[in-house]
Amino acid sequence: MSSQVRDDDYVTGSTESIYTGKAVFYLYSCPVLAWLYLHGHLVVDPAQEYIRSGKDLDESRFSNKRSLDLTPYGKCDWVTGTQTNPVIHEGSRSKFHNDPKRAQLRHYLWAAHKLYNINAIGELHLAKGPVERIMPNDDMVIKDHQRLKDLLNSNMPEPRRIPICSGCSNQDWCWR
């Protein structure tokens, strides 16, 4: 895909819309979470068990590894490979429900090309060892950014019970 198409699809008026990997992650997790995050209303308690266990895992897995600055589009977990052909890695705590992580990784591959003109590939490290290869897909990323833009301009979606609600840091707001 040409950089012209990337830019045309990414720019709104004269102001570029910037979406982070976390916004894309939330988009695939739950529209309510994505909407709250985009509007700056998402309250995340750092003491919540899910958040704490994630931070612990992050520190043990990759806090001392090399990273790649993808500002303002987010921060990938770690990177390996050469400077011109890097592999961007994301770690997951789960073997299941990893579409949010796949989308986040595709967004980082897109960001690496946009920022540095490098063709990276992705590796998603699932719980207990399996590694999944993630290839760039700019069409999907641009569609995801459009969905985020639509959410940004909409009212908050009605919460709907989904499997991740039980571990969600926002459940007290949605369901009590």
User: Which residues are near ligand SF4 by CB under 6 A?
Assistant: 30, 32-33, 159, 162, 164-165, 168, 170-171, 174
Closest approach of ligand SF4 to the CB of residue 103, in Å: 16
Pairing type for strands 131-134 and 121-125 reads antiparallel
CB nearer ligand SF4, residue 49 or residue 59: 49
In this structure, the chain runs to a length of: 176
CB nearer ligand SF4, residue 81 or residue 159: 159
Closest approach of ligand SF4 to the CB of residue 107, in Å: 20
DSSP state letter for 16? E
88: three-class secondary structure by DSSP: strand
Closest approach of ligand SF4 to the CB of residue 43, in Å: 11
Closest approach of ligand SF4 to the CB of residue 112, in Å: 29
CB nearer ligand SF4, residue 116 or residue 173: 173
CB nearer ligand SF4, residue 146 or residue 171: 171
Which stretches of 99-169 are DSSP H helices? Answer: 99-116, 138-152
Distance between alpha carbon 76 and the CA centroid of its chain, in Å? 9
